[in-house]
Structure 1
Protein backbone atom coordinates (compact mmCIF):
# COMPACT_ATOMS: atom_id res chain seq x y z
CA UNK A 1 0.00 0.00 0.00
CA UNK A 2 2.87 2.37 0.82
CA UNK A 3 4.42 1.73 -2.59
CA UNK A 4 1.16 2.56 -4.37
CA UNK A 5 0.81 5.79 -2.38
CA UNK A 6 4.40 6.73 -3.15
CA UNK A 7 3.96 6.04 -6.87
CA UNK A 8 0.77 8.10 -7.03
CA UNK A 9 2.49 10.99 -5.25
CA UNK A 10 5.50 10.77 -7.57
CA UNK A 11 3.30 10.74 -10.69
CA UNK A 12 1.26 13.68 -9.42
CA UNK A 13 4.37 15.74 -8.70
CA UNK A 14 6.06 14.97 -12.02
CA UNK A 15 2.89 15.55 -14.04
CA UNK A 16 2.76 19.16 -12.88
CA UNK A 17 6.49 19.80 -13.09
CA UNK A 18 7.84 22.45 -15.44
CA UNK A 19 7.40 21.60 -19.09
CA UNK A 20 10.60 21.66 -21.16
CA UNK A 21 11.00 24.85 -23.21
CA UNK A 22 10.95 24.03 -26.91
CA UNK A 23 11.65 26.25 -29.89
CA UNK A 24 9.72 25.49 -33.08
CA UNK A 25 12.03 24.92 -36.05
CA UNK A 26 10.81 24.52 -39.62
CA UNK A 27 12.88 21.87 -41.39
CA UNK A 28 11.14 21.88 -44.73
CA UNK A 29 7.83 22.19 -46.44
CA UNK A 30 5.28 20.65 -44.13
CA UNK A 31 7.72 19.69 -41.35
CA UNK A 32 8.36 21.54 -38.12
CA UNK A 33 9.74 20.17 -34.87
CA UNK A 34 10.12 21.36 -31.30
CA UNK A 35 13.77 21.56 -30.26
CA UNK A 36 14.90 22.15 -26.67
CA UNK A 37 15.74 25.85 -26.30
CA UNK A 38 19.30 25.11 -25.12
CA UNK A 39 20.12 22.83 -28.08
CA UNK A 40 22.06 24.10 -31.09
CA UNK A 41 22.18 22.73 -34.64
CA UNK A 42 25.17 20.55 -35.37
CA UNK A 43 27.11 21.79 -38.42
CA UNK A 44 27.58 19.47 -41.41
CA UNK A 45 31.13 18.49 -40.38
CA UNK A 46 29.90 17.68 -36.85
CA UNK A 47 27.10 15.55 -38.30
CA UNK A 48 29.61 13.71 -40.52
CA UNK A 49 31.76 12.86 -37.49
CA UNK A 50 28.93 11.89 -35.14
CA UNK A 51 26.71 10.18 -37.74
CA UNK A 52 28.95 8.70 -40.43
CA UNK A 53 26.58 7.46 -43.10
CA UNK A 54 26.03 7.88 -46.81
CA UNK A 55 22.63 9.38 -45.92
CA UNK A 56 23.20 12.15 -43.44
CA UNK A 57 20.30 13.21 -41.21
CA UNK A 58 18.16 16.15 -42.30
CA UNK A 59 19.09 17.91 -39.03
CA UNK A 60 20.82 17.20 -35.72
CA UNK A 61 20.58 19.32 -32.58
CA UNK A 62 22.81 18.83 -29.53
CA UNK A 63 22.82 20.09 -25.99
CA UNK A 64 25.75 22.32 -24.94
CA UNK A 65 27.82 19.36 -23.67
CA UNK A 66 27.24 17.39 -26.89
CA UNK A 67 26.11 14.33 -24.90
CA UNK A 68 22.42 14.56 -25.89
CA UNK A 69 21.17 14.66 -29.48
CA UNK A 70 17.90 15.09 -31.31
CA UNK A 71 18.03 14.10 -34.97
CA UNK A 72 15.62 14.04 -37.87
CA UNK A 73 16.27 11.80 -40.87
CA UNK A 74 14.36 11.16 -44.07
CA UNK A 75 14.75 8.15 -46.32
CA UNK A 76 12.77 6.59 -49.13
CA UNK A 77 10.37 3.75 -48.34
CA UNK A 78 7.98 1.48 -50.18
CA UNK A 79 5.84 0.99 -47.07
CA UNK A 80 2.61 2.86 -46.42
CA UNK A 81 1.08 4.14 -43.20
CA UNK A 82 -1.39 1.23 -43.24
CA UNK A 83 1.67 -1.01 -42.64
CA UNK A 84 2.43 0.49 -39.20
CA UNK A 85 1.43 -2.63 -37.23
CA UNK A 86 3.84 -4.76 -39.25
CA UNK A 87 6.54 -2.07 -39.20
CA UNK A 88 6.31 -1.86 -35.41
CA UNK A 89 7.41 -5.50 -35.20
CA UNK A 90 10.08 -5.10 -37.89
CA UNK A 91 11.61 -2.00 -36.30
CA UNK A 92 11.51 -3.52 -32.82
CA UNK A 93 13.46 -6.49 -34.14
CA UNK A 94 15.92 -4.17 -35.93
CA UNK A 95 16.51 -2.19 -32.75
CA UNK A 96 17.14 -5.41 -30.81
CA UNK A 97 19.74 -6.50 -33.38
CA UNK A 98 21.60 -3.18 -33.17
CA UNK A 99 22.45 -3.48 -29.48
CA UNK A 100 23.74 -6.07 -27.05
CA UNK A 101 20.69 -5.52 -24.83
CA UNK A 102 17.51 -3.46 -25.16
CA UNK A 103 15.01 -2.72 -22.39
CA UNK A 104 11.84 -1.39 -24.02
CA UNK A 105 9.96 1.08 -21.85
CA UNK A 106 7.23 1.75 -24.40
CA UNK A 107 6.33 0.70 -27.94
CA UNK A 108 3.17 1.66 -29.73
CA UNK A 109 1.48 3.46 -32.57
CA UNK A 110 0.47 6.93 -31.43
CA UNK A 111 -1.10 10.03 -32.91
CA UNK A 112 0.72 13.37 -32.67
CA UNK A 113 -0.80 16.50 -34.16
CA UNK A 114 -3.17 14.43 -36.31
CA UNK A 115 -0.51 12.07 -37.73
CA UNK A 116 0.20 8.47 -36.70
CA UNK A 117 3.72 7.53 -35.63
CA UNK A 118 5.45 4.32 -34.63
CA UNK A 119 7.00 5.05 -31.22
CA UNK A 120 9.73 3.34 -29.20
CA UNK A 121 11.22 4.34 -25.88
CA UNK A 122 14.06 2.18 -24.59
CA UNK A 123 17.42 1.88 -22.88
CA UNK A 124 20.09 0.31 -25.06
CA UNK A 125 23.35 -1.30 -24.01
CA UNK A 126 26.37 -2.00 -26.18
CA UNK A 127 28.96 -4.25 -24.58
CA UNK A 128 32.52 -4.84 -25.65
CA UNK A 129 32.57 -8.43 -26.89
CA UNK A 130 36.33 -8.68 -27.43
CA UNK A 131 37.95 -11.49 -25.55
CA UNK A 132 40.99 -9.47 -24.53
CA UNK A 133 41.80 -8.16 -21.08
CA UNK A 134 41.22 -4.55 -22.16
CA UNK A 135 37.43 -4.60 -22.41
CA UNK A 136 35.61 -1.30 -22.44
CA UNK A 137 32.72 -0.54 -20.11
CA UNK A 138 29.26 -1.02 -21.64
CA UNK A 139 27.67 2.04 -23.22
CA UNK A 140 24.07 2.60 -22.08
CA UNK A 141 21.77 5.11 -23.72
CA UNK A 142 18.20 6.26 -23.16
CA UNK A 143 16.44 6.67 -26.53
CA UNK A 144 13.12 7.61 -28.02
CA UNK A 145 12.47 6.99 -31.71
CA UNK A 146 9.44 7.89 -33.79
CA UNK A 147 8.77 6.87 -37.39
CA UNK A 148 6.22 8.35 -39.78
CA UNK A 149 5.49 7.72 -43.45
CA UNK A 150 4.46 10.53 -45.77
CA UNK A 151 3.95 9.42 -49.38
CA UNK A 152 7.15 7.55 -50.26
CA UNK A 153 9.29 9.00 -47.42
CA UNK A 154 10.03 7.60 -43.98
CA UNK A 155 10.72 10.27 -41.35
CA UNK A 156 12.76 9.14 -38.34
CA UNK A 157 12.94 11.29 -35.20
CA UNK A 158 15.49 10.19 -32.58
CA UNK A 159 16.33 11.55 -29.14
CA UNK A 160 19.42 10.03 -27.46
CA UNK A 161 20.85 10.70 -23.98
CA UNK A 162 23.14 8.84 -21.57
CA UNK A 163 21.11 6.24 -19.63
CA UNK A 164 22.33 7.60 -16.30
CA UNK A 165 20.65 10.93 -17.24
CA UNK A 166 17.32 9.33 -18.23
CA UNK A 167 15.35 10.93 -15.38
CA UNK A 168 16.60 14.38 -16.43
CA UNK A 169 15.98 13.96 -20.18
CA UNK A 170 12.86 11.77 -20.34
CA UNK A 171 10.37 14.66 -20.03
CA UNK A 172 12.26 16.58 -22.73
CA UNK A 173 12.37 13.56 -25.05
CA UNK A 174 8.64 13.01 -24.66
CA UNK A 175 7.91 16.72 -25.23
CA UNK A 176 10.08 16.77 -28.37
CA UNK A 177 8.30 13.72 -29.77
CA UNK A 178 4.96 15.37 -29.06
CA UNK A 179 5.95 18.60 -30.85
CA UNK A 180 6.32 17.22 -34.38
CA UNK A 181 4.08 18.73 -37.03
CA UNK A 182 4.23 16.76 -40.27
CA UNK A 183 1.83 17.42 -43.14
Structure 2
Protein backbone atom coordinates (compact mmCIF):
# COMPACT_ATOMS: atom_id res chain seq x y z
CA UNK A 1 0.00 0.00 0.00
CA UNK A 2 2.83 2.41 0.86
CA UNK A 3 4.42 1.67 -2.51
CA UNK A 4 1.21 2.72 -4.29
CA UNK A 5 1.14 5.98 -2.30
CA UNK A 6 4.77 6.77 -3.16
CA UNK A 7 4.14 5.94 -6.82
CA UNK A 8 1.14 8.30 -6.89
CA UNK A 9 3.17 11.06 -5.20
CA UNK A 10 5.84 10.72 -7.88
CA UNK A 11 3.26 10.52 -10.66
CA UNK A 12 1.22 13.45 -9.31
CA UNK A 13 3.68 15.63 -7.36
CA UNK A 14 1.14 18.41 -6.82
CA UNK A 15 -0.70 16.16 -4.36
CA UNK A 16 2.35 15.59 -2.17
CA UNK A 17 3.46 17.90 0.60
CA UNK A 18 5.57 20.87 -0.44
CA UNK A 19 9.12 21.23 0.83
CA UNK A 20 9.35 24.21 3.14
CA UNK A 21 12.34 26.53 3.47
CA UNK A 22 12.99 29.00 6.29
CA UNK A 23 13.10 32.51 4.83
CA UNK A 24 14.04 35.87 6.31
CA UNK A 25 11.04 37.88 5.13
CA UNK A 26 12.45 41.01 6.78
CA UNK A 27 15.20 41.66 9.32
CA UNK A 28 12.65 40.95 12.05
CA UNK A 29 10.51 38.13 10.56
CA UNK A 30 11.32 34.57 9.55
CA UNK A 31 8.89 31.95 8.37
CA UNK A 32 8.73 28.72 6.41
CA UNK A 33 7.57 29.03 2.82
CA UNK A 34 7.31 26.43 0.05
CA UNK A 35 10.74 26.04 -1.54
CA UNK A 36 9.35 26.49 -5.05
CA UNK A 37 7.84 29.90 -4.21
CA UNK A 38 9.55 33.11 -5.29
CA UNK A 39 9.02 36.81 -4.66
CA UNK A 40 6.57 38.42 -7.07
CA UNK A 41 7.97 41.03 -9.40
CA UNK A 42 6.73 44.62 -9.14
CA UNK A 43 4.80 44.16 -12.40
CA UNK A 44 3.09 41.00 -11.09
CA UNK A 45 2.11 42.77 -7.87
CA UNK A 46 0.78 45.80 -9.79
CA UNK A 47 -1.26 43.64 -12.16
CA UNK A 48 -2.87 41.54 -9.42
CA UNK A 49 -3.22 43.89 -6.46
CA UNK A 50 -4.70 47.36 -6.57
CA UNK A 51 -2.90 49.15 -3.78
CA UNK A 52 -0.91 52.34 -3.45
CA UNK A 53 1.50 50.81 -0.95
CA UNK A 54 3.45 47.71 -1.95
CA UNK A 55 3.16 44.88 0.60
CA UNK A 56 6.26 43.92 2.58
CA UNK A 57 6.54 40.69 0.54
CA UNK A 58 4.39 38.56 -1.73
CA UNK A 59 5.59 35.12 -2.71
CA UNK A 60 4.01 33.11 -5.49
CA UNK A 61 4.30 29.65 -6.99
CA UNK A 62 5.70 28.73 -10.42
CA UNK A 63 2.33 29.21 -12.16
CA UNK A 64 1.58 32.49 -10.33
CA UNK A 65 -1.83 31.28 -9.09
CA UNK A 66 -1.01 30.88 -5.39
CA UNK A 67 0.07 33.82 -3.25
CA UNK A 68 1.60 34.10 0.21
CA UNK A 69 1.65 37.71 1.31
CA UNK A 70 3.10 39.53 4.30
CA UNK A 71 2.15 43.07 5.16
CA UNK A 72 2.22 45.55 8.02
CA UNK A 73 -0.83 47.75 8.58
CA UNK A 74 -0.63 51.48 9.14
CA UNK A 75 -3.41 51.30 11.74
CA UNK A 76 -1.97 51.27 15.23
CA UNK A 77 -3.04 48.59 17.73
CA UNK A 78 -1.85 47.26 21.05
CA UNK A 79 -1.65 43.56 21.86
CA UNK A 80 -4.70 43.80 24.16
CA UNK A 81 -6.76 44.99 21.16
CA UNK A 82 -6.50 41.67 19.32
CA UNK A 83 -10.12 40.64 19.95
CA UNK A 84 -11.41 44.07 18.87
CA UNK A 85 -9.24 43.88 15.76
CA UNK A 86 -10.61 40.39 15.01
CA UNK A 87 -14.19 41.65 14.88
CA UNK A 88 -13.14 44.60 12.73
CA UNK A 89 -11.20 42.36 10.29
CA UNK A 90 -14.01 39.80 10.12
CA UNK A 91 -16.40 42.54 9.10
CA UNK A 92 -13.94 43.68 6.42
CA UNK A 93 -13.67 40.14 5.05
CA UNK A 94 -17.44 39.76 4.77
CA UNK A 95 -17.76 43.18 3.09
CA UNK A 96 -14.95 42.58 0.59
CA UNK A 97 -16.42 39.46 -1.06
CA UNK A 98 -19.84 38.58 -2.44
CA UNK A 99 -20.00 35.34 -0.47
CA UNK A 100 -17.93 33.82 2.35
CA UNK A 101 -17.92 30.21 3.53
CA UNK A 102 -16.01 30.40 6.84
CA UNK A 103 -14.09 27.16 7.46
CA UNK A 104 -12.43 28.11 10.74
CA UNK A 105 -11.50 31.15 12.79
CA UNK A 106 -10.02 31.86 16.15
CA UNK A 107 -7.08 32.99 18.21
CA UNK A 108 -4.00 30.83 18.77
CA UNK A 109 -0.49 31.23 20.08
CA UNK A 110 2.50 31.16 17.74
CA UNK A 111 6.03 31.33 19.13
CA UNK A 112 4.82 33.16 22.25
CA UNK A 113 2.55 35.63 20.44
CA UNK A 114 -1.21 35.61 19.99
CA UNK A 115 -2.48 35.38 16.42
CA UNK A 116 -5.98 35.68 15.02
CA UNK A 117 -6.85 33.70 11.93
CA UNK A 118 -9.62 33.24 9.39
CA UNK A 119 -9.80 30.35 6.94
CA UNK A 120 -12.50 30.64 4.29
CA UNK A 121 -13.65 30.21 0.73
CA UNK A 122 -14.58 33.45 -0.98
CA UNK A 123 -16.71 34.04 -4.03
CA UNK A 124 -16.67 37.11 -6.24
CA UNK A 125 -19.53 37.25 -8.68
CA UNK A 126 -18.84 38.38 -12.24
CA UNK A 127 -19.64 41.89 -13.35
CA UNK A 128 -23.18 41.88 -14.70
CA UNK A 129 -22.29 44.80 -17.01
CA UNK A 130 -19.49 42.85 -18.71
CA UNK A 131 -19.76 41.89 -22.37
CA UNK A 132 -18.03 38.58 -21.66
CA UNK A 133 -19.70 35.65 -19.98
CA UNK A 134 -17.78 35.01 -16.78
CA UNK A 135 -18.03 32.52 -13.95
CA UNK A 136 -17.76 33.47 -10.28
CA UNK A 137 -14.21 33.43 -8.92
CA UNK A 138 -13.79 31.16 -5.88
CA UNK A 139 -10.63 31.29 -3.78
CA UNK A 140 -9.36 29.45 -0.72
CA UNK A 141 -7.84 31.90 1.77
CA UNK A 142 -6.11 31.73 5.13
CA UNK A 143 -5.42 35.09 6.80
CA UNK A 144 -3.49 35.47 10.03
CA UNK A 145 -3.07 38.67 12.07
CA UNK A 146 -0.45 39.31 14.75
CA UNK A 147 0.00 42.53 16.73
CA UNK A 148 3.66 43.31 17.30
CA UNK A 149 4.68 46.62 18.78
CA UNK A 150 2.00 49.07 17.71
CA UNK A 151 1.13 47.51 14.36
CA UNK A 152 -0.65 44.46 13.12
CA UNK A 153 1.05 42.13 10.70
CA UNK A 154 -1.01 40.28 8.11
CA UNK A 155 0.00 36.91 6.66
CA UNK A 156 -2.31 35.70 3.93
CA UNK A 157 -2.37 32.64 1.71
CA UNK A 158 -4.65 32.53 -1.34
CA UNK A 159 -5.16 29.81 -3.93
CA UNK A 160 -7.83 28.70 -6.37
CA UNK A 161 -10.48 26.75 -4.43
CA UNK A 162 -9.59 23.64 -6.46
CA UNK A 163 -6.21 23.54 -4.67
CA UNK A 164 -7.64 23.78 -1.14
CA UNK A 165 -7.23 20.07 -0.33
CA UNK A 166 -3.61 20.16 -1.46
CA UNK A 167 -2.62 23.18 0.63
CA UNK A 168 -4.90 23.12 3.66
CA UNK A 169 -2.95 20.42 5.58
CA UNK A 170 0.34 22.29 5.20
CA UNK A 171 -0.85 25.77 6.07
CA UNK A 172 -0.52 25.10 9.79
CA UNK A 173 3.20 24.45 9.27
CA UNK A 174 3.58 27.62 7.22
CA UNK A 175 1.53 29.98 9.41
CA UNK A 176 2.73 28.55 12.72
CA UNK A 177 6.35 29.10 11.67
CA UNK A 178 6.08 32.92 11.77
CA UNK A 179 8.71 34.21 14.15
CA UNK A 180 9.54 37.78 15.11
CA UNK A 181 13.22 38.25 15.88
CA UNK A 182 14.14 40.81 18.50
CA UNK A 183 16.49 43.39 17.06
CA UNK A 184 19.92 43.58 18.66
CA UNK A 185 20.73 46.90 20.25
Query: Contact 2:78–2:151 (CA<8 Å) still a contact in 1?
Result: no
Residue 4 of structure 1 corresponds to: none
Q: Which residue of 1 aligns with 2:122?
A: 124
State the secondary structure of the residue aligned to 1:54.
coil
Deviation readout 1:131-153 (Å, 9 max, x if unpaired): 67744200000000001111122
Q: Structure 1 residues 96-105 or 43-52, which shifts more?
A: 43-52
How many residues matched?
Answer: 167
- The CA distance in 2 between the partners of 1:150 and 1:132, in whole Å, is 43
Residue equivalent to 1:97: 95
The Cα shift of 1:155 comes to 0.7
Aligned residue number for residue 15 of structure 1? none
- Unmatched 5+ stretches in structure 2: 1-15
Normalising by the residue count of structure 2, what TM-score does the alignment of the two structures yield? 0.83
What's the secondary structure of 2:140's corresponding residue? strand
Aligned CA RMSD, in angstroms, stands at 1.9
Aligned to 1:33: 31
Q: Deviations over 1:86-108 (max 9, x none)?
A: 21111111100000100111110
Q: 2:144 aligns with which of 136, 146, 150?
A: 146
Q: 2:160 aligns with which of 159, 162, 167?
A: 162
Indicate conservation of the 8 Å contact 1:20/1:175, yes or no: no
Q: Is the 8 A contact 2:98 2:125 kept in 1?
A: yes
- Equivalence map 1:43-62=2 (5 Å): 43-62=41-60
Runs of 4+ in 1 over 3 A off after TM superposition: 131-135
Alpha-carbon distance between aligned partners in 2 of 1:152 and 1:86, rounded to the nearest angstrom: 14
- TM-score relative to the length of structure 1: 0.84
CA distance in structure 2 between the partners assigned to 1:154 and 1:98 by the alignment = 19
Match of 1:72 among 62, 67, 70: 70
